[in-house]
Chains A and B, each alone.
Chain A
Amino acid sequence: MQPRPCPNQPPSVYAPRPCRLLSVTDLTPQEKLFRLQLHDGEELGHLPGQFVQVSVPGLTEAPISVASSPDRHGAFDLGVRRAGRLTTALHALRPGALLGIRGPFGRPFQLDALAGKDLLLIAGGCGLAPLRSLLQYCEDHRDRFGVLHLLYGARSPADLMFKEDLQEWQQGECFDCRVTVDQVPATGCYDGATGLVTGLLGDLDLMPHRTVAVLVGPPPMYRPLLEVLERKGIAKTSIMLSLERMMRCGIGKCGHCSIEHLLCCQDGPVFWLPEIEYLRGAL
Chain B
Amino acid sequence: MLKRLDRADLEKLLAALATGYRLLTPQRLADGTRLHRPHGEGALALQGEPVQRKPTEAFFPQHDPLLRIGEQGEVTTCDPPDRPVALFGLNAADLACIAFIDRFFADPPADDHYLARRKDALLVGLTGFAGPGGDFLPPANGMCDLELLALGQNWLGVPWTPRGEALLEGFPDGEQAEVEELQETARTRGNPAQDLLEKAAGLVASEVVPDDFWREIGDRCILCSGCNLACPTCTCFCVEDRQEQAATLRSRVWDSCQFDAFMREASGHNPLGTEALRTRRRIHHKLAADVTRWGEFGCLLCGRCDRVCPTGIGIQAVAAEILARFGA
Do A256 and B262 have beta carbons less than 8 Å apart?
yes
Within 8 A of A (CB), among B60-75: 66-67, 69, 72-75
Do A254 and B237 have beta carbons less than 8 Å apart?
yes
Do A60 and B250 have beta carbons less than 8 Å apart?
yes
The smallest beta-carbon distance between A65 and chain B, in angstroms, is 12
Do A260 and B109 have beta carbons less than 8 Å apart?
no
Within 8 A of B (CB), among A224-264: 244-246, 248-249, 251-262
Closest to A254 in B: B237
Q: Which of the residues B252, B264, B271, B284 comes within 8 Å of A254, measured between beta carbons?
A: B252
Do B241 and A59 have beta carbons less than 8 Å apart?
yes
B72 neighbours in A (Cβ, 8 Å): 18, 98
Query: How many chain A residues have a CB neighbour from B under 8 Å?
Result: 48
Do B257 and A255 have beta carbons less than 8 Å apart?
yes
Instruction: Give the interface segment out of B129-137, B165-173, B286-294.
Output: B286-294
Closest to A82 in B: B266
Within 8 A of A (CB), among B244-299: 248, 250, 252, 255, 257, 262-267, 269, 271-272, 277, 280-281, 284-285, 288-290, 292-293
B66 neighbours in A (Cβ, 8 Å): 12, 14
B105 neighbours in A (Cβ, 8 Å): 253
Q: Which among B73, B112, B243 has the greatest number of chain A C-beta atoms within 10 A?
A: B73
- What's the count of A-B pairs with C-beta under 8 Å? 127
A249 neighbours in B (Cβ, 8 Å): 237, 239
Query: How many chain B residues have a CB neighbour from A under 8 Å?
Result: 48
B272 neighbours in A (Cβ, 8 Å): 281
Q: Which of the residues A61, A100, A218 comes within 8 Å of B267, measured between beta carbons?
A: A218
Do B267 and A259 have beta carbons less than 8 Å apart?
no
Do A255 and B266 have beta carbons less than 8 Å apart?
no
Interface SS of chain A: loop
User: Given A259-B271, A281-B271, are A81 and B266 neighbors across the interface (CB < 8 Å)?
Assistant: yes
Is B111 engaged at the interface, CB distance under 8 Å to the other chain? yes
Do A16 and B73 have beta carbons less than 8 Å apart?
yes
Q: Which of the residues B107, B262, B292 comes within 8 Å of A260, measured between beta carbons?
A: B292
Do A58 and B111 have beta carbons less than 8 Å apart?
no
Is A83 engaged at the interface, CB distance under 8 Å to the other chain? yes
Is A13 engaged at the interface, CB distance under 8 Å to the other chain? yes
Q: Which among B74, B240, B293 has the greatest number of chain A C-beta atoms within 10 A?
A: B293
User: Given A14-B67, A245-B263, are A254 and B236 neighbors across the interface (CB < 8 Å)?
Assistant: yes
Do B238 and A254 have beta carbons less than 8 Å apart?
yes
Do B73 and A18 have beta carbons less than 8 Å apart?
yes
The smallest beta-carbon distance between A184 and chain B, in angstroms, is 23
CA distance A277 to B288 in the complex (A): 17
Q: Which of the residues B73, B110, B111, B292 comes within 8 Å of A100, measured between beta carbons?
A: B73
Is A204 engaged at the interface, CB distance under 8 Å to the other chain? no
The smallest beta-carbon distance between B211 and chain A, in angstroms, is 9
Do B269 and A39 have beta carbons less than 8 Å apart?
no
Would you give the 0/1 interface string for B284-316, flagging 1 where the beta carbon is closer than 8 Å to chain A?
110011101100000000000000000000000
Is A55 engaged at the interface, CB distance under 8 Å to the other chain? yes
Do A58 and B277 have beta carbons less than 8 Å apart?
no
Do A13 and B290 have beta carbons less than 8 Å apart?
no
B110 neighbours in A (Cβ, 8 Å): 13
Q: Which of the residues B67, B75, B264, B281 comes within 8 Å of A246, measured between beta carbons?
A: B264
Is B77 engaged at the interface, CB distance under 8 Å to the other chain? yes
B117 neighbours in A (Cβ, 8 Å): none
B127 neighbours in A (Cβ, 8 Å): none
Do B236 and A84 have beta carbons less than 8 Å apart?
no
Do B109 and A255 have beta carbons less than 8 Å apart?
no
The 10 closest A-B pairs by CB, nearest first: A255-B236, A18-B73, A57-B248, A261-B292, A83-B266, A261-B289, A261-B293, A281-B271, A15-B75, A251-B109
Sample of 5 A–B contacts (CB below 8 Å): A11-B75, A13-B111, A18-B72, A256-B263, A260-B292
- Known: A10-B75, A246-B264, A255-B237; 11 extra A-B contacts, CB below 8 A, are A15-B77, A16-B75, A58-B243, A249-B237, A251-B109, A251-B111, A253-B111, A254-B252, A256-B263, A280-B277, A280-B280
A contact residues vs B (CB 8 Å cutoff): 10-16, 18-19, 39, 55, 57-62, 81, 83-84, 87, 98-100, 218-220, 244-246, 248-249, 251-262, 266, 280-282
